[in-house]
Structure 1
């Protein structure tokens, strides 16, 4: 069975074994992978800096004259990668190894390969990856910025159609202006982690086979009791109580369950016998009670019909009187609500009048302030215009100073030349001419800075003048809006006066309506009192009859239900054999 206890136990065993081992194995794999990646990165970085130290030693020999630069660089290339072959390739002889595809190479600042196992001399500055990255430029930038790692996707040498993440560490050698780089694929770092993952999966498979086998044997022994209990309970559910008891083979919880099921079957046999006898007696009693209640119900219906005709007129009169009283009460409530709302309206109109006066005063103040603001803006705009004119004059003065400075510089230069011709006699004059020339140059520099500052101030002034013009337009628009608001307050004042006059007229009408209401309430109250007394007497009689009829109906309904339940109980008991 798909949902059997045995299958559930097997599933539980699989989960208990699978998930912990899978979790631990996965964690170990990722930890090992992370640590191997860190170790590989550190090894690459140390290898690059070792090569930088070697280049420094070779360069010291070049500086001391023991080696030429070309000899030192070729010796460095041989140490970094290996000796150069006849086909211009290099054998990778460097003992540093961080994976199958690891090697060192050297770049110039323009991307040319100074040393490489296969493509030495080629320029890779414009080479791109499939996603459009100039990875060689990134390697050069990382080296110049103090050294760093660069990751990108690149084709695997053994399978050019497949790409894998590759990592490169590069550093810059300032003596020869070389970029020393070490590169390999990330998969070379964590090859050991993959072996660990394979061993973990093998262990997981063995644990699943052994664990599931043990759980299968245990579940077969445990479910045999459950199957027997299911068979007996199924027979009991079908009404079969004559079967044999479950044999007791153990004293654990399942054995106790079998004992309880056997006891339950015995108790059900005894209960069914007693219930069968009780149901027969109940059927007979319910039939007699049903006959008696039917006769009593017929008599009660005749009495209720007679009394109903008598009370019908009184009830109608009472209902009409109640309706009239309710209508008058509603009218009274409406008048009261209207009076209350009228008082609120008068109060709000008074507040509105006060707010209208305050608003008019504020609008007048706002109108005066707006006029003054417009005048201030006009004055500022005129000041900015004058400032622009003064800036032009200052520009002319600065231009004149620049021209004088240039002439002075030229004169100082001529004086220096003449002093040089004069020899010893012109040395003092040459010193003075040199100081004059420096002063002229300082003056020229200062005037250039002043000219730049004036250009910046002129731009800021023009921008401020434009803002002033825009502010003036907004101010004029605001003045128009304030004028319209003032007119609106004037119209509002007139409307409030009209509403006040209408409220006074409404107050008089409400007083007259309240007087008429009181007269109508008095008359209807007298009519309602007489109708209520008549209806009360008839209602008491009718209520007593209703209670009697309700009691008889309840008895009759209960007797019918009792008879139905007796029949149902008899049918249920007959199912058990």
Structure 2
């Protein structure tokens, strides 16, 4: 049952049915047209014959009327002879006339008639002379036609009963007026008598049409069997590709449209196989790049957190140093107030100076660590930037590949459109080609939509990469500023160390030079104020560094998120491509 239904839907069956229908319609149309034209010609010829017969009858009546005018015959004698001439000799029983023996007869069926102005019978092979029937409708039409002015108006049609079959049929009469006797003379015949011979011709037309249809069917079967087989192979290959099994096809290529379709399908399957293979390789590379970028982002994030903690420690030490300097300043004030305790204050200042020296040395060590951490951060940032630039280059490569996919899809769509146009030109013969072209166009549209989705994903990656590159550029600028601040802090720490060393020297000499203590006290006070100011500036600079580090951590976190998203997109691309088998 399914095979019968499939056969009725196949292109071969439909084309064969179309050939039969077209042949029958063509034969029927030609035969019917010829039949109608022949019928029209025969009717025109019959009408001309009727007119000719009536003209002959009118000539006979003219001769008889001349004899009446010459007094050779009376009017009654002339009219009786006219009936014998027109209707034939009388029957043996004296009733009616033998119209078959008349010279004025059409195909043994049409006979001459004549009616008076009162619609009475004057000439008729059967009806009694001088009789007026109860229904004179037909005779009124014929008398009116005889007196009409236009030539076509002399032809009168009416319904009459066929005595042989008892059927009412259409009858045609040509009427003319014989004025001397006031007779409406004409000849009437059933219209089917004009084209009776055509019935045999109709049978010949039917037989010839059937023969031509069978011959056309056989020729088409022999000619189209190979083409239909090729179409089935193209359909099977299309289903395999739609199922994800992309194999290079080797369909038979010829110079006709179906052969060119097979050639295009062979080329398309090869290009599609190459394209999917390239996409699979590119997708694998994209996954590897995304994984590397994610790992680099995590390492950079961890380094940035360590830098933040180190800077926090520096900030705490700087604040403590500022506090110590403030205490030293207060002690110097007390020293001014308590000159009697100079020795004790001198020892105290020495201890404080020693502590400050140690703190200064620790600060210098922390600054060195900060410089090393900052340099490592700069190197890591440069590595991230290089990774992002490499990612951008790979994204550009993928974008070019997707452009190639879209170009191939457009070319395939154009090829399918051309095939649809050729199929439309072929009419009924091209319906199968149109189905194949539609399937190819749908496949091209799906490929194009996948390419557009990939392009959109790539565009998102490019935007995220561009944003990350901008953030990294800003981070590099912040690191440069941090490096300058670290160098400035180192310089200030060196200055503090120098001042503390000078303070120790002055404190050691204070015991020997108490007289100069008051003079140097002002200098020491100013130096302590400068140190406190420097410590405050260092604290502010370190706060700025901390803020920059936080921004860097945020930026690197965004890079990590972008890398994760890139990884997800790569996995999705792999899943989309995995359904195709090469």
TM tier, shorter chain?
0.3 to 0.5
